[in-house]
């Protein structure tokens, strides 16, 4: 339990806290079919999950557009190998990436409005890629945040405290005066390592622990 009066800022994870990934399997299935390739949905899902594991390990390295484009091609290549599709990953990468769409999670906008109403600074701290700020903008969320920090900028991904420390520096807030809300163990471990308070998503549940 805590008091909002003891906080100056709240940082939030992205995927699983602010937004959720719309199931990409139907779109990936259609993408493969346009190239004359039919695969079971479960195979496509496993291939996507295999690609996701590679993406998670590479996101911090793709700190500029050229490296990011290379990462996208490599991740697309992993997906194609997993489904056994002999397609050019460079040519397919834009369509593959376009299949990844996100939606705002229920109650998020009301929660952000509530936090801003208490005079709190807000930031996003997420193991995401260079597209995060643009994705948040398209979803109507970017304007709520004073900072959006990804591994590419921090040079480290959660649970390393450096990514949280960069967000705190941009907000000009001391760690003990900040709360991080996230949905993964890396969120809790990283936030506590940086000296911050932590609460589990969803945001509505997290806010109930504060008054």
Q: pLDDT (tens digit, 9 = 90+) per residue, 66-125? A: 888 888 999 999 999 999 999 999 999 999 999 999 999 999 999 999 999 999 999 999
**DSSP state letters, 11-54:** EE-SBTTTEEE---HHHHHHHHHTTT----HHHHHHHHHHHHHH
96, containing H or E segment: helix 89-98
| 153: exposed, middle or buried (Cβ count in 10 Å: 0-12, 13-18, 19+) | middle
Rounded CA separation 100/135 (Å): 11
As a whole-number percent, the residues of the chain with pLDDT over 90 amount to: 80
| 211: exposed, middle or buried (Cβ count in 10 Å: 0-12, 13-18, 19+) | exposed
Q: Of 161, 142, 163, 143, give the one whose Cα is nearest residue 153.
A: 163
- pTM for this one? 0.89
Number of continuous H segments (helices) and E segments (strands) in the chain: 10, 7
Provide the pLDDT confidence category of residue 161 given band limits of 50, 70 and 90: very high
- State the average pLDDT for the chain: 93
pLDDT at 63 over 70: no
Q: Is 199 helix (H, G, I), strand (E, B) or coil?
A: strand
Length of the chain: 211
What letter does residue 159 receive in the DSSP assignment?
T
């Amino acid at each position: 339990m805590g008091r909002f009066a003891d906080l100056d800022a709240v940082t939030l994870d992205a995927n699983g806290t602010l937004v959720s990934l719309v199931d990409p399997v139907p779109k990936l299935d259609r993408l493969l079919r346009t190239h004359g390739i039919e695969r079971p949905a479960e195979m496509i899902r496993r291939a996507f999950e295999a690609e996701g594991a590679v993406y998670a390990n590479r996101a911090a390295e793709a700190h500029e557009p050229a490296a990011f484009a290379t990462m996208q091609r490599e991740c697309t290549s992993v997906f194609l190998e997993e489904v056994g599709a002999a397609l050019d990953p460079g040519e397919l990468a834009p369509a593959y990436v376009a299949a990844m769409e996100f939606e705002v999670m229920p109650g998020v906008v009301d929660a952000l409005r509530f936090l801003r109403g208490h005079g709190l600074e807000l930031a996003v701290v997420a193991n995401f890629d260079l597209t995060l700020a643009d994705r948040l903008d398209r979803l109507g969320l970017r304007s709520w945040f004073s900072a959006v920090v990804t591994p590419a900028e921090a040079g480290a991904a959660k649970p390393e405290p450096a990514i949280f420390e960069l967000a705190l520096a941009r907000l000009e807030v001391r760690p003990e005066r900040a709360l991080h809300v996230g949905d993964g163990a890396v969120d809790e471990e990283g936030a506590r390592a940086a000296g911050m308070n932590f609460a589990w998503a969803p945001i509505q549940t997290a806010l109930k622990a504060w008054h």
